[in-house]
Structure 1
Amino acid sequence: MADLTPSARRVQDVLDAIGLGHAVVEREASTRTSEDAANAIGCTVAQIAKSLIFRTKQTGRPVLVIASGVNRVDEKAVGALVGEKIERADADFVREKTGYAIGGVPPIGHAEPPLVLIDEDLLALDPIWAAAGTPNAVFRLTPDQLVSMTGGQVAAVKKAS
């Protein structure tokens, strides 16, 4: 395995501890957006499991929504699921609570464990790909592995089109 950048190495260390043989791959091309990632990997945009961080308005807790790359998140639905209104998190909050910068937030290994919701649409796709700590690092996994490794609740989180 090639040398990984420090943030990607942290994700690989978490994956190694889980012990299912996942490997972080760092690419030349950016995987910052779902479209970029799909192009770099050679998969559909739907197969990108994008990690979006929100914060609860009253208590300031981090909420991680892992959504299919083609879906927009219904913030009202997420708020109802977590029991309080949510708002988009700014870059400083994301880095403080996850340990990673926007564009590379993985679904695992966060500085502060978030509440985790997983887009039910991801369960129909296999494999899926998730960010791995940098804007050009990803790892491949199955939807069942995503649910298992995050302890996330599978839910309807997409905004109706």
Structure 2
Amino acid sequence: MAPQERHKVDTMALATRWGRGKLRRATPEQVCQAIGQAIAGVASVGHPRALPTVVDEALTDYAQVWAAAGTPRTVFSTTASELLQLTGGLLLPVGR
């Protein structure tokens, strides 16, 4: 599998791994309504309410990752481990 393919979310495969039933991608309108941020800049943390979260297992390959910080032009430096802590998420592979 090409490296970039590891990071592309396969909703059917992820649904099976996560055990949460069928998953579908949210529309931009649904994202904005739920968290008040535009797609392409959705932060991993700081949402108005807790959201179920998956952290891509492939991110553990990197010492440092850059995550969106609420706008399409803002990011912050972090690690997969720190994202897990901050989000209370679950570490799972998201690709095929």
Greater C-alpha radius of gyration: 1
Q: Which amino acid aligns with 1:79?
A: A
Deviates more, 1:148-157 or 1:74-83: 74-83
Could you say which structure has the greater relative contact order, defined with CA pairs below 8 angstroms and 6 or more residues apart?
2
Which residue of structure 2 aligns with residue 145 of structure 1?
Answer: 82
Tell me if structure 2 keeps the 8 A contact 1:71–1:158. Answer: yes
Which residue of structure 1 aligns with residue 95 of structure 2?
Answer: 158
TM-score normalised per structure 2: 0.86
Q: Which amino acid aligns with 2:28?
A: A
Unpaired runs of 5+ residues, structure 1, are 1-45, 47-67
Map 1:123-134 → 2, pairs under 5 A: 123-134=60-71
Structure 1 consecutive aligned stretches of length 4 or more whose deviation exceeds 4 Å: none
TM-score normalised per structure 1: 0.53
The answer to whether 1:97 aligns with 2:34 is: yes
Shift of 1:82: 4.1
Aligned length: 93
RMSD of equivalent CA atoms: 1.9
CA distance in 2, matches of 1:93, 1:82: 22
Q: What are the Cα deviations for residues 54-75 of structure 1, in whole angstroms up to 9, with x where unaligned?
A: xxxxxxxxxxxxxx89621110
Identity of aligned residues (%): 34
Shift of 1:158: 1.1
Q: 1:75 to 1:108 in 2, by over 3 A?
A: same
The structure whose residues are more often strand, as a share, is 1
Q: Which amino acid aligns with 2:21?
A: E
Q: What are the Cα deviations for residues 40-96 of structure 1, in whole angstroms up to 9, with x where unaligned?
A: xxxxxx8xxxxxxxxxxxxxxxxxxxxx89621110122221421011111111011
